[in-house]
Amino acid sequence: MTGATGRVGRHVAASLAEAGHAVRALVRDTAGAPAGIDAVKGDLSSPETLERAARGVDAVYLMWPGLPVDSRAVDAIARSARHVVYLSTDVADLADGEPAASFGQWAEDHASDFR
C-alpha cells in the first residue's frame, strides 16, 4: 500500500493489520509506519523501490498524490496486484496547465492494466 503514514492510509494499514492481514507499505520514512506492518522504504518516483514493495502482493491500496505518473511505477504494481483500490485527491500543486482530474482519469483509463 502507499500512503500508510498519512491521515487515511494510516487507519487503513492499522485496521488491516489488526484484522490479521499481512500488510506491506511503501513509505518514505519507516519510523512513521504503523505498528504491525512491513514497511519498505522508497517512494512513488522510484519504480525500483515500488517494485520491491509490490512483489508478491494480491492487492494494493494506492494513494497517489499530485506527482507525475511514471508508467514504470504502474507496471511494477500491475505485475503483482490483482486488485487496486485507488484513493484520489485534488492537489493544490499541480504542474502548470495540468487539470486536477488528470490523476484520477489516468487511474480509470489504466484499470485494465491490472490483472
With a cut of 70, say whether residue 83 has pLDDT above it. Answer: yes
Q: Which fold has domain 9-113?
A: Rossmann fold (3.40.50)
Residues 6+ apart with CB under 8 A from 108: none
Structure-derived torsion over alpha carbons of residues 83, 48, 75, 21, reported in degrees to the nearest 10: -10
State the pTM of this model: 0.72
DSSP secondary structure letter of residue 7: T
7 CB neighbour count, 10 Å cutoff: 8
With a cut of 60, say whether residue 46 has pLDDT above it. Answer: yes
- Domain boundaries of the chain, sorted by first residue: 9-113
Give the pLDDT confidence score for residue 79 in this predicted structure. 84
Which is more confidently placed, 68 or 53?
53
pLDDT-based confidence at 20, cuts 50/70/90?
Answer: very high
Give the pLDDT confidence score for residue 48 in this predicted structure. 83
